[in-house]
Amino acid sequence: MTRETRNPKVRLHLLPALALLAIGPPLRCRAQTSLALSDAISQALQSRSSLRADAERIGAAQGLRKQAAAIPNPEFQFQNENLRPRQSYTRDVDTLALINQPLDVLGKRRQRIALADEGISRARAQFQLSRYQVVRNVKLAYWTALGAQATRDVLRTTEENFQKIVEYHSAQLGAGAIAEQDYLRVRLESERLKVSADLAAFNASQARLELLKEMGRTSFQDVTLTEPLEPIAAISPAPLDRVLAERADVQVARAALREAEANARLQQVQARPDLNITYGYKRTQLPDMLTGVNTALASVRITLPLTDENQGNRAAADADVRRQQQLLAAAEADVRADYYAALQEYQFRHDEVVNTLEPLRQHAAEISKIAAAAYAEGGTDLLRLLDAERVRLEAELARTRGLVEYRQSIARLEAAEGVAQ
In a domain? residue 109: yes
In a domain? residue 97: no
Residue 189 has pLDDT above 70, yes or no: yes
37-55, pLDDT tens digit by residue? 999 999 999 988 889 999 9
In a domain? residue 80: no
3-class secondary-structure state, position 95: strand
Residue 32 confidence (pLDDT): 56
Give the span between the Cα atoms of 221 and 234, in whole angstroms: 34
- In which band, very low, low, confident or very high, does the pLDDT at 173 lie, cut at 50, 70 and 90? confident
Range of weakest confidence among 127-141, 166-180, 267-281: 166-180
Q: Which candidate, 343, 129, 131, places its Cα nearest to that of 239?
A: 343
In a domain? residue 95: no
399-413, pLDDT tens digit by residue? 999 999 999 999 999
How many residues are present in the chain? 421
- Give me the sign of the Cα torsion angle 163, 166, 170, 175: positive
CA within 13 Å, CB half, 122: 21
Q: Which amino acid is at 335?
A: V
Residue 9 confidence (pLDDT): 46
Give the span between the Cα atoms of 318 and 177, in whole angstroms: 91
Range of weakest confidence among 141-145, 163-167, 188-192: 163-167
In the chain, % of residues over pLDDT 70: 90
> From residue 413, how far is each of 9, 129, 137, 184, 360 by CA, in Å?
56, 16, 13, 49, 26
In a domain? residue 361: yes
Q: Which candidate, 358, 368, 374, places its Cα nearest to that of 24?
A: 368
Give the span between the Cα atoms of 139 and 409, in whole angstroms: 10
Q: What angle do CA 332, 338, 344 make, to 5 degrees?
A: 140
- Name residues whose C-beta falls within 8 Å of residue 235's C-beta, 6 or more positions apart in sequence: 346, 410, 413
Q: Looking at the 3D structure of the chain, how many domains does it have?
A: 1
Residue 278 confidence (pLDDT): 92
Residue 135 confidence (pLDDT): 92
Phi, psi (deg, nearest 5) at residue 95 = -120, 135
Give the span between the Cα atoms of 194 and 406, in whole angstroms: 28
242-264, pLDDT tens digit by residue? 999 889 999 999 999 999 999 99
- In which band, very low, low, confident or very high, does the pLDDT at 56 lie, cut at 50, 70 and 90? very high
Beta strands 275-284; 33-35: pairing state? unpaired
**Residue 90, Cβ density class (10 Å: 0-12 exposed, 13-18 middle, ≥19 buried):** exposed
57-90, pLDDT tens digit by residue? 999 999 999 999 998 889 999 988 877 777 777 6
Residue 335 confidence (pLDDT): 94
Output the domain CATH number for residue 24: 1.20.1600.10
- Name residues whose C-beta falls within 8 Å of residue 209's C-beta, 6 or more positions apart in sequence: 220
Give the span between the Cα atoms of 151 and 400, in whole angstroms: 7
In a domain? residue 293: no
Residue 117 has pLDDT above 90, yes or no: yes
In a domain? residue 86: no
**How much is the average pLDDT of 311-322?**
93
Give the span between the Cα atoms of 152 and 205, in whole angstroms: 10
3-class secondary-structure state, position 86: coil
- In which band, very low, low, confident or very high, does the pLDDT at 13 lie, cut at 50, 70 and 90? low
**How much is the average pLDDT of 26-44?**
75
Q: Which candidate, 413, 45, 13, places its Cα nearest to that of 217?
A: 45
Long-range contacts of 382-388 (CB under 8 A, 24+ apart): 382/182, 382/185, 382/186, 383/185, 385/18, 386/185, 386/186, 386/189
In a domain? residue 33: yes
274-290, pLDDT tens digit by residue? 889 999 998 887 766 66
The better pLDDT of the pair 284, 348 is held by: 348
Residue 366 has pLDDT above 60, yes or no: yes
Phi, psi (deg, nearest 5) at residue 236 = -100, 115
Residue 379 has pLDDT above 80, yes or no: no
Chain centroid, CA 130 distance in Å = 6
Name the residue range of residue 387's domain: 4-70+104-271+308-417
Residue 1 has pLDDT above 60, yes or no: no
Residue 153 has pLDDT above 80, yes or no: yes
- Name residues whose C-beta falls within 8 Å of residue 154's C-beta, 6 or more positions apart in sequence: 26, 393, 396, 397, 400
Long-range contacts of 56-60 (CB under 8 A, 24+ apart): 57/123, 57/126, 57/127, 58/120, 58/123, 58/124, 58/127, 60/123
